[in-house]
Amino acid sequence: MKKLLILTTGLILCVGVFAQEAKAPVKGNNYLSLSVGPAFPMGDFASKDIYTNSEAGLAQTGVNVNLQYAHTWGYFGLVAQGFYNSHNVQSTDVDGIQIDMDHWQYYGLMVGPAFIKPLGDKKNLIFDVKGLIGPVNVNSPKFSVDGQSLVNEKWNTTIGYGAGMGMKLLFGKSMFAQLGLDYLNMSPEFTIDGNVVDEPASIKLEQPISTLNLHFGIGINF
């Protein structure tokens, strides 16, 4: 939460500075883009300390894919962003027993307001900031020992939120290249079903997930 508040404060300050100029974008007011890039886990989600941190997610740097649509009115707009993230999980040793895990993965659709500011003499470089909120479907890892399933994977839906900023470089008649940086946060709850000494068992847990997604892509302005 603290990271999100700091980032959001920075975005608001950016909006205040850029909104002082009077000229508005001269290109089309719709933007559709596809982008991909690395996803960096943060905080508890990235922690590997399973002995002192009960919320350690063991997540490694993963990949994110984003499909984004934005409609603008002058400097302001509305963004809808569909995304998918996947993170491999570091296998770990517990009391001499090697436990293998496959991955965390999640996808969702978030919406929110945006501020858009064209830069440069030709107004072909566009800076944007945004806030996001929406449902996210999260998949917990499968745990296994020597190929024997110990804890099954589980899907659950939660509400995620975030903030981001990006740059678009318009070229040709309607194309643009895009660079973006998004912070996402969510805390899904799971009831994990597994087997302990050949007996069924259920464990309830909440996993804080926060990531910083850097993505590059291309889009169309119309």
pLDDT tens per residue, range 198-214: 556 677 889 999 999 99
The per-residue DSSP string of 1-59 comes to -HHHHHHHHHHHHHHHHHTTS-----S-SEEEEEEEEEEEE-GGGG---TTT-TT---B
Please say whether the structural domain 2-221 has been given the CATH code 2.40.170.20: no
How far is it, in rounded angstroms, from Cα 216 to Cα 214?
A: 7
Q: Which of the two residues, 165 and 198, has the higher pLDDT score?
A: 165
DSSP state of 89: B
Tell me the C-alpha to C-alpha distance, in Å, between residue 16 and each of 60, 127, 141.
36, 13, 42
Q: What is the pLDDT of residues 105-138, one digit of tens each?
A: 999 999 999 999 999 888 889 999 999 999 999 9
pTM: 0.82
Q: What is the mean pLDDT of residues 171-192?
A: 94
Q: Which of the two residues, 177 and 150, has the higher pLDDT score?
A: 177
Tell me the C-alpha to C-alpha distance, in Å, between residue 128 and each of 12, 42, 124.
11, 23, 13
DSSP state of 116: E
| 157 pLDDT above the threshold of 50 | yes
Report the pLDDT value the prediction gives residue 17, as an integer from 0 to 100.
45
Q: Where are the domains of the chain?
A: 2-221
Report the pLDDT value the prediction gives residue 207, as an integer from 0 to 100.
95
